[in-house]
Structure 1
């Protein structure tokens, strides 16, 4: 996936970048339907994304586009945004909007290039590279729970924190640095299949889910004041993992379930409709006007 705009210079306006990324540049390799402005205001979301592997395994998420902005020396992302006529914060609406579809909520961040990010103050590194100097980070993805936690814990520095934890979209689908590293969960009594998934390298849809989960596990490990629960979440129909701990730490919802419920053994009917060129039902079309499907050929490079 080498077609993302907004990776050179400063980010475009969100609406222009969304249209360019989701439509003009990605089509026809990536199938799509658009959200209307009213649907975005109601759900707090731009797109539904689905990665689909050849064997039918797939991973979906509901995404809102945001721009990493700089004002003087302060870097911000407006995670606390409230749309006109809606009192509830958009980040809360986004997480709630993902519930009926049993997928995680996420942000797609437009972050510009290294020159644009040159004054960012983040002392941490990625494989020895300063955070702000990462290649391919112009369009990155972070779970909405990461952003929600950052706004509580880091306030004015939330934008930089989420950028650090966000994964370049290209690296998820077409990794250039080899196999991914293990994820070490706080919850130890895991189903063996789930433990193997976290421990061993993954590709395709499984890799996307694992990378979205990785920063949540790191944040959860730092929440040492809250013990991990051994209770189990109710499984989603078609989930790849049926035995998932309901541990939530300080997150607003159980974080393992929130991410892993989007990892399925087969695509939902409304995604199949998009893949096969059919029009979704009226109810589904009204609720999900924007769907992006990335097939296995794209996901594996």
Structure 2
């Protein structure tokens, strides 16, 4: 039987992830003070055990890395059953002299096909019809003082960002960084990565995504324009950097449709891939589902998932009631009321124009 932590409603998912990130930050700082580098597995253990019991997790302890490099399946589950799943590999932002790297192109010893882990991760995500992603352990601001990135975040230099010690990034963004930034792929990926706690931050503005692909189904277009919460918010935050990269690629978007995924919240998606290895909207949003997958419900209800799941994963993380507010209350929408009203009015006007 996997080890499963039970949930509590005393804190929001954002608060639990923030508390967990601080614990990981402290661990990474202590390791650096002792002249040692931290390990992905230890950082993940600290992250999940600290986020528990608000965030559930089941650990399977299987030797899965040689096959596809994936570690954990992360799933946000809303109260209405809407679920978003990511197949996640953990990586470290490392300094080698003045060069900063994240080993996305690592090739596992014993893999006869000599495939880089990033390719195996994207392929393995097909098994669960999930989006592929990385959780990055990036150390504290002092650790990153020599990281050279001239771009800023809300006026703050990239390397000095708060909350960036534990961040998430789509595997498609990482793949793009490897292909187009070469030796600077680690810096490019770090700049683009989203702090994990920000994915569920009810006080952070969930700004609209303007897609390159036109003629989208109305429900999908509305999802991209309007603020979201919970599982939908997580999917949107991981999609945002992918869409921004696609807009900068000089290829025409195609209108052909990707094969539909049964149970997906948005089954009708463009097959456009730009310079990515797979159709990016279809890949990112296939993990956003209208119902909880059976193996995720197994974890929620204390059962062991089937062997085809446990034999290929280190474990499953389940963020239940992902759209819930903190116990003390809070803003109903992700936007402050005035911004929310403006966005809703704008969306309504757009919908009326489309209908006409």
Deviations 1:121-163 (A, max 9, x none): 1111112222111111110000001111110100110001011
Q: CA RMSD in A?
A: 1.6
Other structure's SS at 2:173 match: helix
After superposition, the C-alpha distances for 1:32-73 in whole angstroms (9 at most, x for unaligned) are: 222535212212111000001111111000000000011121
Counterpart CA distance in 1 for 2:151 and 2:217 is: 33
How far residue 14 of structure 1 moved from its aligned partner, in angstroms, is 1.1
Give 1:26 shift: 2.4
Q: Residue 60 of structure 2 contacts residue 310 of structure 2 at CA under 8 Å; is this kept in 1?
A: no
1:210 aligns with 2:236: yes
Report the Cα offset of residue 287 of structure 1: 2.7
Cα 1:281/1:151, change in 2 over 3 Å? same
Q: 2:165 aligns with which of 138, 158, 165?
A: 138
Contact 2:106 2:116 in 1 (8 A): yes
Asked if residue 277 in structure 1 is aligned to residue 295 in structure 2, the reply is no
- Aligned positions of 1:153-168 closer than 5 A: 153-168=180-195
| Residue number in structure 2 paired with 1:123 | 150
The alignment partner of 1:220 has SS state of helix
Question: Is 1:7 aligned with 2:25?
Answer: yes
Measured against aligned partners, the alpha-carbon deviations of 1:237-282 in whole angstroms (never above 9, x if no partner) come to 1111121111000000000010000001111000000000011223
TM-score (norm 1): 0.95
Work out the CA distance in 2 between the residues paired with 1:88 and 1:36: 23
Matched position secondary structure for 2:238? helix
Instruction: Provide the rounded CA distance (Å) in 2 between the counterparts of 1:180 and 1:243.
Output: 23
Whether the 8 Å contact between 1:183 and 1:199 is mirrored in structure 2 is yes
Q: Distance in 2 between matches of 1:279 and 1:102?
A: 20
CA drift at 1:109:
0.1
**Which aligned pairs between 1:29-108 and structure 2 lie closer than 5 A?**
29-36=54-61, 38-86=63-111, 87-108=114-135
Q: Is the 8 A contact 1:51 1:299 kept in 2?
A: no
> For the residues of structure 2 that align with 1:197 and 1:128, how far apart are their CA atoms?
28
* CA 1:293–1:241: 2 relative to 1, 3 Å: same
Distance across 2 between alignment mates of 1:205 and 1:300: 13
Deviation per CA, 1:206-252: give whole Å up to 9, x if none. Answer: 1110010111111111111x110001111211111121111000000
**Alignment check: 8 A CA contact 1:173 1:299 kept:** no
When normalised by structure 2's length, the TM-score is: 0.80
Paired residue total: 298
Kept in 2: contact 1:142–1:165 (CA 8 A): yes
The farther-off stretch of 57-66 and 118-127 is 118-127
Structure 1: gaps of 5 or more residues: none
For the residues of structure 2 that align with 1:207 and 1:298, how far apart are their CA atoms?
Answer: 9
Per the alignment, residue 257 of structure 2 pairs with 232
